[in-house]
Amino acid sequence: MSMSRRGFLKTGIATAVAGSGLQLFSPTEVFAADTITIPHASHYGPFKAVVRNGVLIGVQPLPGYDAMPTEMLLEGIISRTYHPTRVKYPMVRRSYLENPRGDTRPDLRGKDPFVRVSWEEALGLTADAVMRTIEEHGNEAVFSSSYGGWSHAGVLRPQVLQGRLFNLIGGQSVTTGDYSAGASQVSLPHIIGDMEVYSPQTAWEMVRKNTEVFVFVGCDPWKNNRIEFTVADHQMYSRWKAIREAGVKFISINPQFTSSDEAMGSEWVKIVPNTDTALFLSMCYHVYTNGKHDQAYLDRYTVGFDKFLPYLLGESGDGSPAKTPEWAASITGLPAERIRELADLFASKRTQFAGAWALQRAHHGEMTHWAIIAFAALTGKIGQPGQGVGFSWHYGGGGMPMSGKRGPIGLSQGRNPVKARCPASRISEMLLNPGKPYTRDGAEMVFPDVHMIYNAGNNFMHHQQNTNELIAAMARKVHTVINQDPWWCASSRYADIILPANTPLERNDISSGGTYSMDKVYAMRQVIEPYGESLDDFEIFRRLAELFGVEYGFTEGKTVMDVVQDAYANTDTEISFEEFWENGVADMSVPDEANSWVRHGDFYNDPDKNPLHTESGKIELYCDAFARFGTKECPPVPTWMEPVEYLGNARPGQVHVVSPHPFMRLHSQMANADINKILNVQGREFVLLSTEDAAERGIKDGDLVEVYNDRGALIVGARVSDRIMKGVISIFEGAWLSKDSKGRCNSGAINVLTTSVPASDLSQATSANTCLAYMRRCDDAEGPNQAYQPPHILERVDPTPAVRLEDLALAERASAAVSAAVAEMLPGEKLFYQRCTLCHVPREPGDYTKRQWHGITESMFPRAGLTEDEQALVMEFLEGNAKDAVVR
């Protein structure tokens, strides 16, 4: 069957909304006196909430501010707000509540029922667990898995607030890097001087006017731009159509045909997953040996080609053959003649490459983006109008012109006295190997000895690879797991204490749109009263701060509305706060010159005046830094290295499992919303598999399928299609975990299958898309999927609190930890931790060299809203504490 966007939406928005008893109102609707509209904004788009007698009954899109309202906005937000999986009250796992300071039976996480407690008792248990962990093991034993900041679009994100609180009591161990682009964010600053994966793309109009061939390499902007880190307003969709209508040829190199490919009419080039590096290396070989490379470009804009060339030609002494199209054909599944055709086309036409983040979520993932850069450099394209490389076309409205204006900023995390960190995808390894040294970006680090996990605002049980390994590691090592969340997602079900946070609709906040264009500021006004006894994240952490005796340090005497108004005052909008808050949106103008901006254009026009922020100032085809680091898994030239699992080393019957971002969700957000019925099969996540693979296994469309390997097993519903190549299956990530009696995930949570092998010892990033498994028709599924139902909750028999606040002496116990966090900061240091550490977790100055910080801050400073004087202060601090700073 066709998995086109039209197929996805065939039931229609109106049908989905009407079927749930909710309403989609037109922008001109007039309401009765008992009904009001309140402006709000989300990752899924801006809107007016329609509220009758205090109940959310529908949404009203904002005309002119959302070019393509999606089902996630029009129906998903409402259905999840009142969903049965809302956590109404503070809850504690039964075995934990029975013995909070002793044997809490961590082996029963995910199985134990829960017991309702009061907020006072829940916060007392939480605070006592925090202080006992610090007292017995030190601050680094408290680990924050609160990462990413995707819980909502506002500035008061829970991971920032958590960092702010814990940094006032001596700090906590945190994650470093991320799942989205963990490999390339480490490698690309060395190769091309910027993370690239989080950088703005060439203005779309320059593509429309100049590009002849646009190449999606695993990239699906039509699907992934449905959401944004801030507020999605879907401005690029009409621009993509304009690019297509200008006659630009689209080619998609991908194991499956995507929604972008259908929208843009892409020519589909099927490729074996994890082999793009081999393809681009062979195209490098072909253009060089046929004299179609641009030697003048290589001489002026790159370094290291002389050291890269021997590897291409098979003359490097490492025993590898020449990287001919025939060599690549046996790896990629593409005929050698087809590889030559592609290389000739890309070399002869004005070509823009759009590489997906998914490419580098793989074993040796650093190599893929580097190989694409190498080919684009050999053919002289990087920095030319409508040509070159871009690794963020699928994110944040990539291609929209940038306003250069300041957006709203919130509270800072401040400085974390604890320097122990764990790469985002290595949590299981950290728990199983406390004190083990590891390398990241050339530096040696040590895993902290963690005894407690505090999680706020993300579903860490969903996004960690090899879920069963994580569950076992937590049971073996972690005494207390606290989850602060609105829903009974997997992280709540596997926690000991659940603090019910409310949803963004139940609090005030402020955001911006879009991520790169930064041309609007949105009000996120409270729409309804908090559900049950839920509290907003600011209030939960404020109450904990009060218990620890650091409330003023946490709030600085400010309320939520004070923070929101301060955030607005920092922006470059031109209307008053009162007018903005009433209307819900304030525009910021985009200068005309933004429409002609070209990524790497200044470097191309004058590389001496505008060098890249690499060590050489040029594109590095041989990286001296990698050679110095001596990493075993990241050589100093773009190199094909066989992944630990791929079709080239698969056993008979195995298929390669890819796990792209979902169409109807933001990772695991919206998994419990009614809109998932549009795509789910028999109440479970679906698997996209080829007609040939289905026929070989006797699987029909709509059947249940068991997918399994030695790490775990899951059950999904079959969608049989001609739009995925044989030997490859695709399962969207983000389904909530729910195990049956055989230990299989009955919901289709992909990470029970994925490997926890790191991308390399350079990045320690995820390799989730390097995954082999078997599949068969499932004839023994157990009952309905229970992932989207609340767990068993017991009535409390003994009302005596497990702890009494007056007995805990929390403020006194916290005072010793507080002293570690009160050192004075330099002006630039204070600005950095206040304004430049609001996304993910704070990046430490020592993570990057001086030159790399100059590249990174080009896109960081505008989003932080810093003046030129403030930028200078921050840069002085960063240069004084960078990886290559002189130690005094």
3-state secondary structure of 764: coil
243 and 400 Cβ atoms separated by less than 8 Å: no
Q: Which two tokens stand for residue 2?
A: 């066709």
Measure the N-to-C terminal CA separation of the chain; round to a whole number of Å.
65
What's the sign of the alpha-carbon dihedral 419, 424, 429, 432?
Answer: positive
3-state secondary structure of 866: coil
3-state helix, strand, coil in the chain (%, to 5): 35, 15, 45
Backbone angles phi, psi at 202, to 5 degrees: -50, 140
Q: Which two tokens stand for residue 615?
A: 């060590």
- With a CB cutoff of 8 Å and minimum separation 6, the contacts of 273 are 255, 362, 646, 647, 656, 658, 728, 769
Host H or E run for residue 495: none
Host H or E run for residue 603: helix 601-605
3-state secondary structure of 234: coil
3-state secondary structure of 527: coil
- The Cα 350–Cα 345 span in angstroms is 9
Q: Name the residue among 241, 202, 200 with its Cα closest to residue 222.
A: 241
Radius of gyration for the alpha carbons in the chain, expressed in angstroms and rounded: 26
Q: How many CB atoms lie within 10 A of CB 81?
A: 20
Q: Name the residue among 746, 732, 737, 751 with its Cα closest to residue 684.
A: 746
**How many distinct helices (H) and strands (E) make up the chain?**
34, 31
202 and 36 Cβ atoms separated by less than 8 Å: no
The DSSP code for 74 is I
Q: Name the residue among 214, 215, 147, 140 with its Cα closest to residue 177.
A: 147
* E strand intervals along 610-749: 619-620, 655-658, 686-690, 704-709, 712-721, 728-731
Q: Using omega within 30 degrees of 0 as the cis cutoff, is the peptide bond preceding 514 cis?
A: yes
Q: Name the residue among 525, 745, 468 with its Cα closest to residue 38.
A: 525
Q: Which two tokens stand for residue 570?
A: 């920092």
The DSSP code for 518 is -
585 and 39 Cβ atoms separated by less than 8 Å: yes
Sheet holding 585-587, edge to edge: 509-513, 520-524, 585-587
Q: Which two tokens stand for residue 768?
A: 């989730």
- With a CB cutoff of 8 Å and minimum separation 6, the contacts of 625 are 190, 442, 615
3-state secondary structure of 868: helix
- The Cα 493–Cα 491 span in angstroms is 6
Q: Which amino acid is at 671?
A: A
| Distances in whole angstroms, Cα of residue 837 to Cα of each of 182, 394, 411, 579, 727 | 17, 23, 10, 29, 42
- The Cα 393–Cα 286 span in angstroms is 27
Host H or E run for residue 236: helix 236-245
Q: Using omega within 30 degrees of 0 as the cis cutoff, is the peptide bond preceding 177 cis?
A: no
Q: Give catalytic residues, as residue numbers.
A: 147, 150
How many CA atoms lie within 13 Å of 434's alpha carbon, on the beta-carbon side? Answer: 17
Backbone angles phi, psi at 422, to 5 degrees: -130, 125
